[in-house]
Chains A and B, each alone.
Chain A
Amino acid sequence: MLRVENLSFSYGKIQAVRNVSFEVKKGEIMAIIGSNGAGKSSLLKCVAGLLKPQTGKIYMEGEALEASAYKTVEKGVCLIPEGRWIFSNLTVEENLILGGYTSKTVAQGIERSYDMFPRLGERRNQRAGTLSGGEQQMLAIARGLMSNPKVLLLDEPSLGLAPLIVNDIMKIIQDANKAGVSVLLVEQNARKALKIAHHACVLKHGTIVKEGTGTELAQDESILSEYLGNVNKNKKDRLIINA
Chain B
Amino acid sequence: MFFQQVINGLSVGGIYALMAVGYSLIYSLLNFTNFAHSITVTIGAFATFYFLAEVFQNIYAGILFAIVVAGILAMLIQILGYSVLLKKNAQRIYLLITGLGISTMCDNLVIIAFTSRFRVYPANFSTKAINVFGATVGTIDLIILAVSAVALIIVQLFIKKSRAGLAIRGASFSLETASIMGINTQKLILIVFLIAGALAGLAGALLGAKYTAYPALGSNMANKAFISSVVGGLGSITGAVIGALILGIGEVLISGYVSSAMRDIFSYTLLVIILFVKPSGLMGVDTGERA
Measured CB to CB, the residues of A under 8 A from B are 48, 50, 69-70, 73-74, 78-79, 81, 85, 87-90, 94, 97-99, 101-102, 143, 147
* Structural contact, B180 and A98, CB atoms closer than 8 A: no
* Structural contact, A98 and B183, CB atoms closer than 8 A: yes
Q: Given A70-B184, A88-B173, A101 and B167 touching (CB < 8 A)? A: yes
Interface residues of B: mostly helix, strand, loop or mixed? helix
Instruction: Determine the chain B residues whose CB is within 8 A of the CB of A69 once the complex forms.
Output: 176, 179-180
Measured CB to CB, the residues of B under 8 A from A are 163, 166-167, 169-170, 172-174, 176-185
Task: For the complex of A and B, list the 4 residue pairs with the smallest distance between their C-beta atoms, beginning with the closest.
Answer: A73-B182, A102-B182, A69-B179, A85-B177
Q: Which chain A residue shows the least CB distance to B174? A: A85
* Structural contact, A87 and B170, CB atoms closer than 8 A: yes
Determine how close the nearest CB of chain B comes to the CB of A101; give it in whole angstroms.
5
Max chain A CB contacts within 10 Å: which of B166, B173, B181? B181
Q: Given A94-B170, A97-B166, A98-B166, A87 and B184 touching (CB < 8 A)? A: no
Contact residue among B177, B179, B185 (Cβ-Cβ distance under 8 Å from A87): B177
* Structural contact, A98 and B167, CB atoms closer than 8 A: yes
Instruction: Determine the chain A residues whose CB is within 8 A of the CB of B170 once the complex forms.
Output: 87, 90, 94, 98
Contact residue among A73, A89, A94 (Cβ-Cβ distance under 8 Å from B180): A73
Determine how close the nearest CB of chain B comes to the CB of A10; give it in whole angstroms.
17
Q: Could you give 24 example pairs across A and B, Cβ below 8 Å? A: A50-B180, A70-B180, A70-B184, A73-B182, A79-B180, A81-B177, A81-B180, A85-B174, A85-B180, A87-B173, A89-B169, A90-B169, A94-B166, A94-B169, A94-B170, A98-B166, A98-B181, A99-B181, A101-B163, A101-B167, A101-B183, A102-B181, A143-B181, A147-B182
* Structural contact, A147 and B181, CB atoms closer than 8 A: yes
Determine how close the nearest CB of chain B comes to the CB of A2; give it in whole angstroms.
16
Instruction: Determine the chain B residues whose CB is within 8 A of the CB of A102 once the complex forms.
Output: 181-182
Determine the distance from Cα of A208 to Cα of B170 in the docked complex, in whole angstroms: 36
Instruction: Determine the chain A residues whose CB is within 8 A of the CB of B178 once the complex forms.
Output: 98
Max chain A CB contacts within 10 Å: which of B172, B174, B177, B183? B177
Instruction: Determine the chain B residues whose CB is within 8 A of the CB of A99 once the complex forms.
Output: 181
Determine the distance from Cα of A75 to Cα of B185 in the docked complex, in whole angstroms: 17
Q: Which chain A residue shows the least CB distance to B172? A: A89
Instruction: Determine the chain A residues whose CB is within 8 A of the CB of B174 once the complex forms.
Output: 85, 87
Determine how close the nearest CB of chain A comes to the CB of B11; give it in whole angstroms.
33
Determine the distance from Cα of A50 to Cα of B175 in the docked complex, in whole angstroms: 11
Determine the distance from Cα of A73 to Cα of B180 in the docked complex, in whole angstroms: 7
Q: Which chain B residue shows the least CB distance to A85? A: B177
Q: Which chain B residue shows the least CB distance to A73? A: B182
Determine the distance from Cα of A88 to Cα of B170 in the docked complex, in whole angstroms: 9
Determine how close the nearest CB of chain B comes to the CB of A196; give it in whole angstroms.
23
* Structural contact, A74 and B182, CB atoms closer than 8 A: yes
Q: Which chain B residue shows the least CB distance to A143? A: B181
Determine how close the nearest CB of chain B comes to the CB of A153; give it in whole angstroms.
9
Q: Which chain B residue shows the least CB distance to A106? A: B163
* Structural contact, B182 and A48, CB atoms closer than 8 A: no
Instruction: Determine the chain A residues whose CB is within 8 A of the CB of B166 once the complex forms.
Output: 90, 94, 97-98
Q: Which chain A residue shows the least CB distance to B176? A: A50
Determine the distance from Cα of A97 to Cα of B164 in the docked complex, in whole angstroms: 11
Determine the distance from Cα of A57 to Cα of B183 in the docked complex, in whole angstroms: 23
Determine how close the nearest CB of chain A comes to the CB of B49; give it in whole angstroms.
41
Q: Given A97-B166, A98-B167, A101-B167, A90 and B181 touching (CB < 8 A)? A: no
Instruction: Determine the chain B residues whose CB is within 8 A of the CB of A98 once the complex forms.
Output: 166-167, 170, 178, 181, 183
Determine how close the nearest CB of chain B comes to the CB of A175; give it in whole angstroms.
22
Instruction: Determine the chain A residues whose CB is within 8 A of the CB of B179 once the complex forms.
Output: 50, 69-70
Instruction: Determine the chain B residues whose CB is within 8 A of the CB of A70 once the complex forms.
Output: 179-185
Instruction: Determine the chain A residues whose CB is within 8 A of the CB of B182 once the complex forms.
Output: 70, 73-74, 101-102, 147
* Structural contact, A73 and B181, CB atoms closer than 8 A: yes
Q: Given A50-B179, A98-B183, A99-B181, A89 and B167 touching (CB < 8 A)? A: no
Instruction: Determine the chain B residues whose CB is within 8 A of the CB of A97 once the complex forms.
Output: 163, 166
Determine the distance from Cα of A169 to Cα of B156 in the docked complex, in whole angstroms: 38
